[in-house]
Amino acid sequence: MNLIKSLVRVSTLTTVAFGFVSFTYGQGQPQTPPASGQQPGNQQPGNQQQGKVQQGMPQMGQSGGITQSPWFNNPQVRQQLNLNDEQFKGLSNAYQQAYNNYQQGVNGLDKTLSDAQRQQRMNDLQQNFYKDFSTSTDKYLTDPTARQRYNQLYWQYRGYDAFTYPPIADALKLTPEQRNRFSQLQQNWNTQMSKLTPMYQNQNDRQQAVTQFSKLQSDINNQVNSILTPEQQTQWRQMSGTAYTFPPETYFGSGTASSSSPKQ
């Protein structure tokens, strides 16, 4: 009963649009376009600055990253979510509005901030983005089953980053040490993805990027299970649902040069 209450609470508090990373959690692996399905530069699964690594903020290629293009923009992901045209358009428009507010905040960051202060401010901006967008998911995803699957795929997309989100960490009762380890893994993931993104956007290096990306994905499940207790692993599988492997372009975009989210 406590587990069910925790899952319901997490589902309610954390419904946000994020992206994808072939990430089959619990098995091994584990962001939304502007309105009308376009993939402007730097959107989550879009082409541009996707992820959490661009423009001084985490961008494309980074798990859980906030990009201009929504994670559900990818046709395969959209089909997995079974979004109709009205839902897709509504969510896309809402995502773009939340993204614009987020980007405005990022561009307005004081350049005199220390690294620690900047990171804290970035975290605040990201949480505000998630909060703003979650209101729209409530509006367009009224079917409980559809909403549940949306949440499951969202957590799978976020990868290590999902475990750094307070509602998830609290539901799993992660210890300070576990939270710290997940935070370190997420930082490493972002560092690796920031290197792979420009490679993926270059046709000549794309296959190499995909190969290295697949290796990162294949490591996620083992890493997660090495940190979680057996009981936590069971609870996480219930929260993340059936594993879904996201196509690489969900994280890297279409591969168009840009200006400048694992497995479940």
Distance CA 137, CA 116 (A): 32
Question: Among 22, 14, 44, which Cα is nearest to 32's?
Answer: 44
Does the predicted TM-score (pTM) go above 0.85? Answer: no
- Average confidence score pLDDT of the chain: 75
Question: What would the pLDDT profile of 114-164 be if each residue is shown by its tens digit?
Answer: 988 988 888 888 888 888 887 888 889 999 999 999 989 988 888 898 898
Question: Among 231, 221, 222, 127, which Cα is nearest to 172's?
Answer: 231
pLDDT beyond 60 at 206: yes
Q: Count the residues in the chain.
A: 264
Question: What would the pLDDT profile of 56-86 be if each residue is shown by its tens digit?
Answer: 333 333 444 577 788 888 888 898 899 999 9
The position carrying tokens 């395969």 is: 76
Q: How many CB atoms lie within 10 A of CB 194?
A: 20
* 204/46: higher pLDDT: 204
Is residue 156 within 8 Å of residue 25, measured between CB atoms? yes
Distance CA 99, CA 33 (A): 10
